[in-house]
Structure 1
């Protein structure tokens, strides 16, 4: 079954909810980057967060960048999401792994680190993009994103992100949800929701059991009057192209391009998001120089 997300609200517009199944998306990123189990979980949670946040933007051309710099052994994590449901990402040191925690769970917080920042950049087609920054709380990503919403946007939010890695290191289940409490939400609503969330299983376990985003949505909000507003397919998809790489090469300047021609008789540029190699021979580089 394809990955997808749903967006919903209660009938009075006091609660915003997004729920996603991201198993195939995270597995695709694992294959591309050949990530260790812990790196798979770290990047997978970040991709899930990014695709949920991307769905909150209004226009298809809007771009959201999700960056984590926790100073852990896994290095920086970078995710780029669009409103159309496509996403791409990378982790700096994909092969680094850590022993499991005492409770048997993957040590994502240890790999990511918590001595750094979470940065959210939203390019909404305006003169300047919106940039929000908050300190990391744990490196577990879901807690850090909830803290970001509270600190940078003053938006009370519940964030759950999960990746279940199988014995063969493939992704068995992945997904997440974001619940935001909007103006008008009552204390009674909050208590009801808190009590429900205390008893619900981790989101990756629910997806592993075969529950759909709609099932999770209805399970959490069985005591509320809710409605689903949108269903959207999501996928890991890189939008790199040779044309875009040409622009990057032009930015290097004639001196650097000439050195590529004389020393290497061409150039090879690899995209960090999909590992595609874009090759340029001498003639192509000379044409690029003429256009500068």
Structure 2
């Protein structure tokens, strides 16, 4: 199944909902970053969330960045998404290994530890919107639920899951974000809370082969759920040698001159997609001539 996101509403627009299947994009991220199972789970959860939160934005050029920094051994996770469903990301320590948590599952919370979640929305205004909250568990879904409640004052339920095969490939991945509108009636809120409290975990639904539509129907079918839109989603990086060259130019003539004096090619790595770009000494001389300071 190709990865995609669905947007839906329920209870006469009192609830808005997003659900995603993201197995392929998580597997792509695992392959290019060579992540351990626990790093794959952490990155996969945040990529899934980023993809859904990205399509919530309206403008074609709007960009979203999710950044988790913790004191655990994984260090942090960064994800960037746009409004078209494209997402990219990386973990600071992709090789981290930890024992399973008491529930026998990958201990993402232990890998991330205590720290901060930062949400940056670049909506084409003079200054980007920046929201920041403390991590409540490091499990990512709970942290985003807390972020929505405190930073955006939107009561939300976020569920994210990644299930691994024994050969460390991704078995399934996905999630949902349910949000109550300010005019939601008490009866609707109670019904939704009851449904969510009875949910044992998103990975169980994904592992049964349930699609995003089926997951939302399972949660909101009794509340008049209506699918509004469907978006393809995938892992895609927009880096290029030209963009990297601009970054090298920005470091200034002094540092570029030192690189030239070393008389060796330099290699620049893209954190997001792990692509390597080589610049020869001759290319560095051309870059030096373009630098303004």
TM-score, normalising length from structure 2? 0.97
Cα distance between partner residues in 2 of 1:197 and 1:136: 21
Cα distance between partner residues in 1 of 2:244 and 2:52: 28
**SS at 1:29's partner residue?**
helix
**Aligned match of 2:208:** 209
**Aligned match of 1:13:** 13
Deviation (angstroms), 1:235: 0.3
**Aligned match of 2:240:** 241
Cα distance between partner residues in 1 of 2:191 and 2:61: 37
Cα distance between partner residues in 2 of 1:86 and 1:60: 12
Structure 1, 122-131 or 5-14: larger mean CA deviation: 5-14
Asked whether the equivalents of residues 121 and 129 of structure 2 are also in contact (C-alpha less than 8 Å), the reply is yes
Cα distance between partner residues in 2 of 1:180 and 1:220: 12
**Aligned match of 2:46:** 46
Determine if the alignment matches structure 1 residue 286 to structure 2 residue 285: yes
Asked whether the equivalents of residues 5 and 20 of structure 2 are also in contact (C-alpha less than 8 Å), the reply is yes
**Aligned match of 1:27:** 27
**Aligned match of 1:136:** 135
Deviation (angstroms), 1:201: 4.0
The correspondence of residues 126-205 of structure 1 with structure 2, limited to 5 A, is: 126-205=125-204
**SS at 1:105's partner residue?**
coil
Asked whether the equivalents of residues 11 and 227 of structure 1 are also in contact (C-alpha less than 8 Å), the reply is no
Cα distance between partner residues in 1 of 2:137 and 2:14: 29
Deviation (angstroms), 1:11: 5.5
What stretches of structure 2 of length at least 5 have no aligned partner? none
**Aligned match of 2:103:** 103
Deviation (angstroms), 1:265: 2.4
Cα distance between partner residues in 2 of 1:98 and 1:266: 38
List, as ranges, runs of 4+ consecutive aligned residues in structure 1 with deviation greater than 3 Å: none
For the aligned residue pairs, the C-alpha RMSD in angstroms reads 1.0
Aligned residues: 291
Deviation (angstroms), 1:200: 2.9
**Aligned match of 1:62:** 62
